[in-house]
């Protein structure tokens, strides 16, 4: 099956969604660092998966959804996949430090490796790397830029303040490892 892509507008700029074989394999922001090369692509207008991904992202940005229910298949090492799965466990509107993620994975000295894996997350927003902060709450490093890293958790806090809960929450599907 062909790799398909679609661009969409969002409050944080244009987003490039990439799907392959029935799963989302990428969500990248304009001018994002660490964007992997993902084969030749075809335009994804009218692709049911990309249509649904756009609908869910639009609802998330509108504050009507706090989780995503999409099949995901990020490409990465086993360590990166474990880190990205841990990111999906951070509740909407909350943050965790790189050290907390490292400790949660049973590797408390792997803080820098957690940061590197977080920076290489190929499915931003949906796999919420924006919820990871430095020790003491500092906003450090974000492949999409620090302005976006400020905006995304701020948006989540505003939604929670407005709704008083995780209104609109939908289930999440587990990550499936992709062949490298």
Residues annotated as catalytic are: 129
d(CA 54, CA 44): 11
Reduce the DSSP state of residue 24 to 3 states and report it. Answer: strand
For residues 99 and 107, is the Cβ–Cβ distance under 8 A?
no
Q: How far is it, in rounded angstroms, from Cα 91 to Cα 12?
A: 21
Nearest C-alpha neighbor of 103 from the set 121, 85, 120, 83: 83
């Amino acid at each position: 099956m062909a790799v398909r892509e679609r661009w969409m507008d969002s409050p944080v700029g244009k987003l490039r969604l990439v799907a392959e074989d029935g799963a989302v394999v990428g969500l990248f922001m304009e001018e994002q660092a660490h964007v992997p090369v993902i084969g030749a692509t075809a335009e994804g207008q009218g692709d049911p998966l990309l249509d649904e991904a756009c609908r869910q992202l639009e609802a998330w940005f509108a504050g009507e959804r706090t989780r995503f229910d999409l099949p995901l298949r990020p490409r990465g090492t086993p360590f990166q996949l474990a880190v990205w799965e841990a990111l999906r466990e951070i509740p909407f509107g909350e943050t965790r430090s790189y050290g907390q993620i490292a400790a949660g994975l049973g590797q408390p000295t792997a803080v820098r490796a957690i940061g590197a894996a977080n920076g290489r997350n190929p499915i931003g927003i949906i796999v919420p790397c924006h919820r990871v902060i430095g020790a003491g709450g500092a906003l450090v490093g974000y492949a999409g830029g620090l302005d976006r890293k400020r905006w995304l958790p701020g948006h989540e806090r505003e939604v929670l303040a407005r709704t008083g809960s995780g209104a609109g929450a939908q289930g999440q599907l587990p990550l499936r490892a992709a062949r490298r």
